[in-house]
Structure 1
Amino acid sequence: MIRFFNSILILLLLSSCQNKIETNTTLSNEDLQRIKNIKLLEKDEKIIQFYSEFKNKIAGNFYTNKRIASYWLDERDTLKNKVEFAYFKDIIKLEPFYKVGLTYCPYILVTKSNNETFKVCVDGTEKEKQSFYVEAVKMWKKNK
């Protein structure tokens, strides 16, 4: 019984970060509207790459032509909601952390000019993670 439980737990942990990276054109209108409703997307902004470590309606990590952002929306307790972002002009460092162990999702640590930090999770193949990071850095350098 314990062996069965451990096997299920390992499968859940391994599959916890297996969603795909999306773009402004592959996200649903409902997803885009939700992101606008939580004030993470303006009319002249486009999401370039988006990743959710759970379901899009609960968790999202992305960068646009203006900012990098992350959100967690708790369906049962809005006090647990977490919405974080930084405009590129307010960022001093983007640092990738790909080797984080089995229980965590790889992430980019965003450091803002006021020294506040937050994580933007992204997973996929090595090439996909690298692309997300490299393209986010390019957008940051272009817009800072």
Structure 2
Amino acid sequence: MRYIFCGILVAGLLVSCNHLIQGNDLSAADIKRIGALGILDKDEQVIKFYSEYKKSYAGNFFTEKRIAMYWIDSRDSTKNVIKTAFYKDIKSMDTVYNAGLTYSPYILVTMNNGSSFKVSVGGGRKEFKLFYMDVLKSWKGNQRVL
């Protein structure tokens, strides 16, 4: 019983530390790290960002050009996951609010080629909705521009 309580406490502390942040609140080191992953051009500005762990290991964000996510496994690089989609290449974006007890709500991004990936967005329902509405606006405004 004690182990279950400790596990719930640790999970709660990890989740409570994670929240949506504005892109201009990311540090220069954060921006450099994301750029090194190949999912952020020098002229791109992150609009909103969320990490379900530490920013150096996990991130979900969108810019004026794309939506992206990354998960970096420091012990085994074969488990790294990096996904990005330019708005012109996206067929649809759907929300999943109830992703289960241990998962953050997410946006399911489906590409024109049929592939898909998830962009996690933690925080409350209001934060999730604001993130989704903002990325939807960017997508609709830039689908054919890029």
Verify the 8 A CA contact 1:49 1:132 in the aligned structure 2: yes
Q: How much has 1:54 moved relative to structure 2?
A: 0.2
Query: Quick one: which amino acid aligns to residue 32 of structure 2?
Result: Q
- Residue 11 of structure 1 is matched in structure 2 by 9
Verify the 8 A CA contact 1:49 1:62 in the aligned structure 2: yes
1:116 matched to 2:115: yes
Separation in structure 1 between the aligned mates of residue 96 and residue 14 of structure 2, nearest angstrom: 17
Q: How much has 1:16 moved relative to structure 2?
A: 4.2
Of 4-13 and 110-119, the range deviating more from structure 2: 4-13
Q: Deviations over 1:17-61 (max 9, x none)?
A: 330111221111111000000111112211000000000000000
- Residue 36 of structure 1 is matched in structure 2 by 35
What is the RMSD computed on CA atoms of the aligned residues? Answer: 1.2
Give the alignment's TM-score, normalised by structure 1: 0.93
Verify the 8 A CA contact 1:13 1:102 in the aligned structure 2: no
Give the alignment's TM-score, normalised by structure 2: 0.92
Q: How much has 1:15 moved relative to structure 2?
A: 4.1
What stretches of structure 2 of length at least 5 have no aligned partner? none
- Residue 98 of structure 2 is matched in structure 1 by 99
Separation in structure 1 between the aligned mates of residue 28 and residue 96 of structure 2, nearest angstrom: 31
* Inter-CA distance 84–74: structure 2 relative to 1 (3 Å threshold): same
Separation in structure 2 between the aligned mates of residue 113 and residue 137 of structure 1, nearest angstrom: 16
Pairing 1:1-144 to 2, within 5 Å after superposition: 3-18=1-16, 19-144=18-143
Of 133-142 and 10-19, the range deviating more from structure 2: 10-19
Verify the 8 A CA contact 1:60 1:71 in the aligned structure 2: yes
| 2:25 partner SS | coil
Separation in structure 1 between the aligned mates of residue 11 and residue 88 of structure 2, nearest angstrom: 36
Separation in structure 1 between the aligned mates of residue 47 and residue 40 of structure 2, nearest angstrom: 12
Verify the 8 A CA contact 1:110 1:120 in the aligned structure 2: yes
Separation in structure 1 between the aligned mates of residue 26 and residue 120 of structure 2, nearest angstrom: 17
Q: How much has 1:63 moved relative to structure 2?
A: 0.4
Query: Quick one: which amino acid aligns to residue 46 of structure 2?
Result: I
Separation in structure 2 between the aligned mates of residue 100 and residue 38 of structure 1, nearest angstrom: 27
* Inter-CA distance 104–57: structure 2 relative to 1 (3 Å threshold): same
Q: How much has 1:123 moved relative to structure 2?
A: 0.7
Q: How much has 1:127 moved relative to structure 2?
A: 1.2
Separation in structure 2 between the aligned mates of residue 60 and residue 36 of structure 1, nearest angstrom: 12
